[in-house]
Structure 1
Amino acid sequence: MKDLFTPFQLKGLELKNRVVMPPMCQYSVTNIDGIATDWHYVHYVSRAIGGAGLIIIEMTDVDPDGRITDYDLGLWSDDHVPAIARIVEACHQHGAKVAIQIAHAGRKAEDAEVPVAPSPIPFDENSKTPKELTIDEIKQMVHKFKSAVERAVKAGVDAIELHGAHGYLIHQFQSSFTNKRTDEYGQDLTRFGKEIIQAAKSVMPSKMPLIMRISAIEYVEGGYGLKESVEFSKIYKEAGVDMFHVSAGGEGQIAAHGRPGTHAAYQVPFAREIKEKLNTPVIAVGRLDEPSLANAVIGNEEADLVAVGRGMLRNPYWTLEAAAKLNKETVVPKQYSPSFPTK
């Protein structure tokens, strides 16, 4: 039977285990230039030392005004590549593979003077009213995603994740709650996402997987539910997505912030549904910090990989601790081996 420490392979991506560090914004860029700092280096490399199989670098934006805040990472310039490459190379030295989440915040870009969106609807009463993107601007945005993916590949990443969840720009286009357009990007809510997927695939090596993070349920009146997310995921799979990272929320209340989502593994049923209906690999995420629970998700074949967010923020060595608790074989750095049980 499969467990949390069974190796996993998808196309050219080979993982030593099924533990994923999901993307979590650090808001730690110091010069507001989008370039990764020593904080990011230590943050990610310590999780590689701690045994994670796949590390997904936080939301990294395709445009300066596409950041949630001015302290987020960017990949809109070649100047960003060396710092990301440094992180990737070091993580590889410790046996972890690295993906990076490529994104644009859309109307949730707090520090943009004029945020952009599919429709001029502010995120909430405290947010700026975004500018509605023109057709030409949408085409330019797709190209920005393509260029950022190309730079990520140049930096040596092992996989790309597109952020189509949590109320950011791709999500805004695929939701009738935020997309009120009457043109082709409103008539087909998946068109923007499809174009980005196809653009990304055009500059990715053929054996490199493309992951897409989605919100399976919006948790807002008038938003979409699981039935709709299954359908748009089928379209995205056909366009080129190789794996889905299944989260929820983003419009109104982001689930992980408290309501709903107050119980362990609350999003696992969504991941299982996407996996079964699409016959495609998925990453489960959401309150899976307990090793026996994370292990059960894999053993029960509800998901192929398990993302551990807050647990790994608290403890960079979560994966090594999980192996010890589950009595599983894993490689412990020799410098730390005296503190772990031997068989």
Structure 2
Amino acid sequence: MTTLFTPYPLRSLTIPNRIWMSAMCQYSAAPEGEQTGVPTDWHFAHLSARAAGGTGLILTEGTAVSPEGRITRFDLGIWNRTQVDGFRRITAFLKSQGTAAGIQLTHAGRKACTERPWGDGGRRPAPDEPHAWTPVGPSAVPYTESSLIPEELTRRRIGEIVREFAAAAERALEAGFDVVEIQGAHGYLIHQFLSPYSNHRTDDYGGSFECRTRFALEVVDAVRRVWPEDLPVFFRISATDWLAENPEDDREGWTLDDTVRFAKELTAHGVDLMDVSTGANVPDAKIIGGPGYQVPFAERVRTETGMPVAAVGLITEPAQAQEIITSGKADAVLLARELLRDPYWARRAAAELGGTIQWPVQYNRVRP
């Protein structure tokens, strides 16, 4: 029976265990100048600690494919050579610990141009402020009432963004990453196109399921063309906008049925694994939480399509994570805040469950 500590092969890559780290924004890159979007010592320490802690795969925080694709001006980016060079130190260390290195490629779309959650508390700058820029989206629908109104993307600009994703993937390969994950969840640009809640277009990028998924599949195809055939591509999705689950909410959004249908399309287009999350496209949607509350969404995708999946959402205890894997609900678990609380969670899990995790050689050689 599969366990939490069994290696997981995807194409030519073998990930040493099923305990993986989700992308988590740190908002800690330089906001301007030559070092804009470049990983800092904070990013190195943050990610490397979890590698030394035994995590099998680490995904960077959402890394923007262009300056306008950042949530804040403090986000990481991978649109230039300086950023590539900054990531190389991180990927080299992760691999030295036996950890697979993954990057999440993002474009924030209409969620772009905010301040960091601390200090200014995520305030939306006014359009005339020095560091403001105009967000874009499938439609001119702001994320919240206080958000800037996004500029509706033209067909030409859609094509340019598709090419930006591909160029970012090429740079990610140069930077030493093993896995590239396309961010199609949490209200980012691709999710905005997928969901009828945020996509009000009437051309061939809006309306029907086939049209709303067109942009996502164009990005996938562009990335898959430049990413090596022997390395995996992930796609992170919000399985639901949390509208269909609430009988009192009659707004139309992306649903679990859509996700299952789309998983088959992603597989046909060369995606190797779906990272199944939920929400964040409808700020006031009612979310039904609780431990492991998103796991059933991943399980349904895996059961009905056969596509490999990673499960997320309040997975905190080793026995809980092991049950998810051994029962076939998911192929891997992605931990987020729990790994912030305990960078050595994987080692604690191995001790509790009797699994095996490779220790850093330095720790094995310590003398009293």
TM-score normalised by the chain length of structure 1: 0.95
Shift of 1:337: 5.0
Shift of 1:110: 2.4
Shift of 1:30: 2.8
- C-alpha distance in 1, partners of 2:139/2:133? 17
- C-alpha distance in 2, partners of 1:303/1:83? 33
**Counterpart in the other structure of 2:259:** 229
Contact 2:55 2:99 in 1 (8 A): yes
Aligned residue runs from structure 1 range 149-160, under 5 A:
149-160=169-180
1:191 and 2:214 matched: yes
1:163 and 2:166 matched: no
Aligned residue runs from structure 1 range 79-158, under 5 A:
79-111=82-114, 112-158=132-178
1:16 and 2:39 matched: no
AA matched with 1:196: V
SS of 1:102 mapped into structure 2: strand
**Counterpart in the other structure of 1:57:** 60
AA matched with 1:155: A
- C-alpha distance in 1, partners of 2:217/2:357? 39
**Counterpart in the other structure of 2:305:** 278
Alignment size in residue pairs: 336
Post-superposition CA distance 1:45-81 (Å, at most 9, x none):
1111000000011100011111110110001112210
Pick aligned residue for 1:304 from 331, 338, 342? 331
Distance 1:43 1:261, change over 3 A: farther
Aligned residue runs from structure 1 range 239-318, under 5 A:
239-253=269-283, 260-318=287-345
1:205 and 2:232 matched: no
Shift of 1:333: 2.6
Shift of 1:141: 0.6
Shift of 1:184: 1.0
**Counterpart in the other structure of 1:320:** 347
Distance 1:324 1:254, change over 3 A: farther
- C-alpha distance in 2, partners of 1:313/1:226? 29
- C-alpha distance in 1, partners of 2:49/2:288? 28
SS of 1:162 mapped into structure 2: strand
Consecutive unaligned residues of structure 1, counting only runs of 5 or more, are none
1:3 and 2:11 matched: no
Post-superposition CA distance 1:102-134 (Å, at most 9, x none):
010000002452100000000011101000000
AA matched with 2:217: K
- C-alpha distance in 2, partners of 1:118/1:127? 15
Shift of 1:8: 0.7
Contact 2:84 2:174 in 1 (8 A): yes
Contact 1:219 1:251 in 2 (8 A): no
AA matched with 1:135: R
- C-alpha distance in 1, partners of 2:86/2:109? 25
Contact 2:191 2:281 in 1 (8 A): no
Shift of 1:233: 2.1
SS of 1:184 mapped into structure 2: coil
1:43 and 2:66 matched: no
Q: List 4+ stretches of structure 1 deviating above 4 A.
A: none
